[in-house]
Chain A
Amino acid sequence: MAARGSCPGCGSAALVEDSHYAQQQLVCAACGCVLAEGLLTTTYAEEEHLREVAYSQSTGQKEQLSRCLQRGIRRVQDLCKVLQLPTVFEETAVSYVQRALQHPSFHLVSLEKKELLGGCCVFVTCRQHNWPLTMGTICSLLYAKQELFASVYLSLQKELGLSVPALSLADLVKTHLNSFRLFQHTADVPAPFVENKEKVVARTMQIVELASETWLVTGRHPIPIVTAAAFLSWQSLQPAARLACTLARFCKLAGVDLPPPAHLRLKELLEILLRMASQLAWLRVFNMDKKTVVKHIGDLLQHRIFLLKNAFCPEDEEEQRAAAPGEASPGSPGAAGGAAQGEGCPSGGKRRPLLPPCLINPRKRLRTAAPSASDSAVTGEEPISDSEIEQYLRGPEEIRAFRKAQAWL
C-alpha cells in the first residue's frame, strides 16, 4: 500500500506499511528506518483496541473545538434547518458564533446565555439579509425567556459591533401570514371563512402601511399590528359572513397565537378608519360604527392619501395654536404665520392632529415640577445641623425594643 511522504533518512519514496508483530509501522523500503508507528489506523475501534493513539490526538475535527463552540454550531445548524434558511446564512451565523465565543466578554457568561448565543447569531444573520424573523419566533424555538434573549442580543450587538438593520414590516407581513391556516379548505374551517391568500396579503400590507403613517407602529411590537391588520382585511373581503367573527376566534381558526396587544391595535385601527370614513362623501350619510366601517375598508384604502389629509390636521398646528398666544414678541413673523395656519384648520368637524396615541391620550404626569429657585441655591457645602442628623438615629430604648422585636422574628 502506497503511503505519502518520503523517508527522512534516504529520501526514497518507497514507504511501506508493515506490521512488526501486531504493531503497524511505516517503514522505508530502501533503508529500513521506521518513520512512524500507529499512524495509519483509520477507525476508532482499532485505536481503542490497540491504544496506539492518545484520545486527545485523534484526527476527529470536532475535538479541536471547545464543547461550547460545538454546541453553538450545532444549535445554529439545527435552527437553520428548521427555519429553512439558505446555506449562506448558516455559514455567516457559524462565523458569528465563533467570533462571539472567542470574545473575552463571553467567556464567563452563564451557560444558559451561551445556549442562546447560537440563536442570537441566526437572528442577526437573518436581519442583515432582510429575512423577516422575529425574536418571538427564535425564543419559542429555543424555549428561551424573552428578557434573557434580549440581554444576550444587545451585548452581542455591542461587543461584535454588528449593525443590524431594522425589521421590514412588509416582509414580516408576508412571512407571518404564511403561518395562517385560512387559505385552504380544511375540516375545521367553515367554507365562508376560507380566503385567497394574495388578496389578504395585499390588503393587510395596505392596512399596515396606513397604520405606520398614522403613528400606530412606531415603538410598538410589530406582530400584534400585523395580526389586527390581517383580521380587518380578512373581514373586509367578505363582510357579510365574517363580521360576526371575533378576533380571538379568527386567531384560533387561523392557528396562530393571539398576542394581547392585538385588541388595542384593532381598536386604534378602527378609530383611524372611522375618522377617514367621515371624510368620504358617500359615506357621510351613514352612521358609521366599528362594525359597519369594515365593509368599506376597500374604498377607504383606495383613497387613503386624500382622506388622511382631510381627516387629520397637521401635528404642528396644535403646537402653533397653543404657542401663539404664549409668545410675547411683537411683530414677529413666526407668530403671525402660526395664527394664520391655525385658522386654516377647519373649525367645523372633529379634526384631531395626527399624533401617536401616547400623545393623544397622555397618562397623568406624576413627575414633580422643575426645581425651584431655592433648590438651585444649594451649594453642597452648607452646614448640617445636628438636630437634622439626630432625627435619623434611634434612641437607646428604641434600640432595645427593636432588638426584642427582632428576636421574635
Chain B
Amino acid sequence: MDGSSLLERYLERCDGQFKDDLSTSPQLFTPMSPYDVDLPIQTTEDVLFGSQFNQSKELPTDFSSVDLSFLPDITQDNKEQNLFEDGHEMQKELDGSTSNEDSSILTHESSLAYPDASQATEASGVCPPLTPMAPMTPVTPASESSGIVPQLQNIVSTVNLACKLDLKNIALRARNAEYNPKRFAAVIMRIREPRTTALIFSSGKMVCTGAKSEEQSRLAARKYARVVQKLGFPAKFLDFKIQNMVGSCDVRFPIRLEGLVLTHQQFSSYEPELFPGLIYRMVKPRIVLLIFVSGKVVLTGAKERSEIYEAFESIYPILKGFKKAS
C-alpha cells in the first residue's frame, strides 16, 4: 500500500533510537503549547502524516482536509515567528472545520500519538531537526527535549569605514566619544539606542559590541558610521561582519562538574583553582561553553545564531545525564 511504504521511508529517516523511548514515555506531547498542533507536520513529510491520519479511525477526518502547503521552508531566525503564526492559523482552521474546542483537539492529538505508537511502535509525529522553539527534538526522547532557548547577550561585529580618521578631532567634536592615546589607540564611542559601544580606529576600521541581536548590531554600526559622516569624514559601510555571538541560558538543575570532566575529558577543562566553571570546547559546532554548578550555561564563539542553538541542544542531554538524583 502506498501509505505504508511512505510511512516506512519516513520512519527510516527518523532515528531508530526513538523506537524504545516512545513506548516507554507516553508523555511525549506533555509540554504542549497552543501551536503544538502543527508541530508533527511541519516538514515536507506532511503527506505521510496525512496517510497516518487516515489510518486512525477514531479521528475526525478534518485533519486530512487541512491544507499544509502554507508552511514555508523557513530559516532558523524566522521559525519562532512563523510558528506562532502557523499555530494560530491551524487553530482557526480546525476550529472552523470542527465543532470541538481546543482542548478536545489536543486530546485528539495525543490520542493520535498513542494509536500510532501501538500500530507502528516507531517514531511517529516527530520530525527531523526542528528549531529549539519546538518542545521536541528528533533523535532524543521527549523527556530530554530542552524547551529552553539560549538568549543572546552580546554580539561583536566589525565594519570598515574605508577612510582615514583623525581620532583627536572626533574626540573633540563628538559628545559620546572618549580617547586616551596612552591607554588605547582608538576612540571609544557609545550610543544609547541600541545600547552599544564602538571602538573606532584611525585606519577606519570599527568594532561594535554590546548589541543583543544581529539586526541591532547592524543598526548600531550604521549609526556610528553616520556620526562619523556628520563629523565630516567620507565614511562608508563596507564588510559588515558578525565576529562573535554570546548567549546564555539556565538548565534549572545543578550539575556535577567533576563527573562531567571525567566522562568528557577530551572536551572539558575544569580547574576549580582557576575558575569555578567548566570550560567545554565543543567540536561541532565550534563553540566554547562555560558550564557552572548552578546550571547556568554561557555559549560563546559563534558566528551564527543557529550555532548557539545547536550547541545548546547538543549539550543539554549530556547535562541531563548529570542531573543528580540525590
B-binding residues in A (CB < 8 A): 134-136, 150, 153-154, 157, 163-167, 212-213, 215, 217-222, 308, 312, 314-316, 319, 327, 329-335, 354-356, 358-359, 370-371, 375-376, 378-382, 384, 388-394, 398-399, 402-403
Contact = CB atoms under 8 A, between A and B. Distances in A.
Nearest to B265: A163
Contact of B173 (A136, A213, A315, A393): A393
Contact of B191 (A220, A331, A378, A392): A392
B181 interface: no
Closest 6 CB pairs of A and B: A380-B218, A380-B215, A219-B276, A332-B30, A218-B293, A219-B293
Contacts of B266: 163
Contacts of B173: 393-394, 399
Contact of A215 (B193, B219, B269, B293): B293
Interface in B111-155: 151
Interface string B276-287: 110000000000
B262 interface: yes
Interface string B88-116: 00000000000000010011001000000
Nearest to B189: A392
B117 to A, nearest CB: 14
A325 B27 CA distance: 17
Nearest to A330: B103
Contacts of A220: 272, 276
Interface stretch (B12-20, B46-54, B220-228, B311-319): B220-228
B294 A359 contact: yes
A218 B253 contact: no
B175 A378 contact: no
A167 B271 CA distance: 8
A383 to B, nearest CB: 10
A157 B277 CA distance: 17
A150 to B, nearest CB: 5
Contacts of A378: 194, 213, 215-216, 219
A334 B30 contact: yes
Given A354-B326, A389-B230, A316 B253 contact: yes
A165 B23 CA distance: 39
Given A316-B325, A329-B30, A389-B227, 15 more contacts: A135-B274, A136-B273, A153-B274, A163-B265, A314-B326, A315-B253, A316-B323, A356-B294, A378-B213, A378-B216, A380-B219, A381-B218, A393-B230, A399-B173, A402-B172
Contact of A389 (B29, B218, B223): B223
A375 B151 CA distance: 13
Nearest to A150: B274
Given A165-B265, A380-B214, A384-B222, A219 B273 contact: no
Contacts of A333: 26-27, 30
Contacts of A381: 218-219
A146 B20 CA distance: 51
Interface in B1-58: 26-27, 29-32
A26 to B, nearest CB: 57
Size category, B interface: 35 or more
A393 B269 contact: no
A343 to B, nearest CB: 18
Interface in B228-282: 230-231, 252-258, 261-262, 265-266, 269-274, 276-277
A308 B326 contact: yes
A152 to B, nearest CB: 11
Nearest to A403: B172
B258 A358 contact: no
Contact of B219 (A312, A382, A398): A382
Contacts, number: 148
A327 B106 CA distance: 14
A329 B231 CA distance: 58
B269 A157 contact: yes
A263 to B, nearest CB: 18
A390 B175 CA distance: 10
Interface in B281-326: 292-295, 323-326
Nearest to A337: B27
Contacts of A312: 326
B76 interface: no
Contacts of B254: 215, 218, 315, 355-356, 359
Nearest to A323: B252
B176 interface: yes
A329 B135 CA distance: 13
B273 A329 contact: no
A335 B32 CA distance: 12
17 contacts: A136-B273, A154-B269, A157-B269, A217-B258, A221-B272, A221-B273, A319-B253, A329-B30, A330-B103, A332-B32, A358-B294, A371-B151, A375-B213, A380-B215, A380-B217, A390-B230, A392-B176
Contact of B227 (A356, A371, A392): A392
Contacts of A135: 271, 273-274
Nearest to B228: A389
A212 B256 CA distance: 10
A49 to B, nearest CB: 55
A329 B219 contact: no
Contact of A134 (B30, B194, B273): B273
B265 A331 contact: no
Interface in B191-225: 191, 193-194, 212-219, 222-223
B106 A330 contact: yes
B174 interface: yes
Contacts of A316: 253, 323, 325
Contacts of A163: 265-266
B175 A393 contact: yes
B216 A219 contact: no
Contact of A222 (B32, B273, B292, B325): B273
A157 B271 CA distance: 12
A5 B193 CA distance: 85
B291 to A, nearest CB: 10
A389 B293 CA distance: 44
B223 A379 contact: no
